[in-house]
A = this chain, B = another copy of it.
Amino acid sequence: MEFQVDASSRMPIYRQLRNQFRQAVARGKLLPDQRLPSVRDLSRTLVVNPNTIARVYTELEREGLLNTRPGLGVFVASPKTELTKKVRKERLVELLDHFLTEAVHLDFSADEVVSLVGERASQFAWQSPR
């Protein structure tokens, strides 16, 4: 798993890294119990302040995507959702409407979008039924 930061982006570094991590997990490229680079290592690799990396890891832990164990390192967590169905649906619809809005402005047709969704969706690691 290789992270990268774009210093010229308006998006804060910690958000860039957080998003990359979230996507890597959603695509199944990072699996539960897998160890991530240490705060100090990643900060050296990316030439970013250790505090910034620590912030990324802290936020992701709060979101339940990873566990950090002082003295051992940082590990990918097992997925779990504690939100109510209602809240989850609301958030999904909001995100979807935002996506569809941009799709319209980018001048795509409904058919093109639906088709693309099916295509890209196959690249993600959807939860198996429980």
Contact = CB atoms under 8 A, between A and B. Distances in A.
A100 B113 contact: no
B114 A117 contact: yes
A26 B92 contact: no
A12 to B, nearest CB: 7
Nearest to A66: B8
Contacts of A97: 23, 120
A87 interface: yes
Interface string A94-105: 011111111111
Interface centre among A87, A117, A129 (most CB of B within 10 A): A117
Interface centre among A7, A70, A106 (most CB of B within 10 A): A106
Nearest to A83: B82
A113 to B, nearest CB: 6
A8 B114 contact: no
Nearest to A125: B104
Contacts of A62: 62
Interface string A4-35: 00011110100000010011011100000000
A127 B109 contact: yes
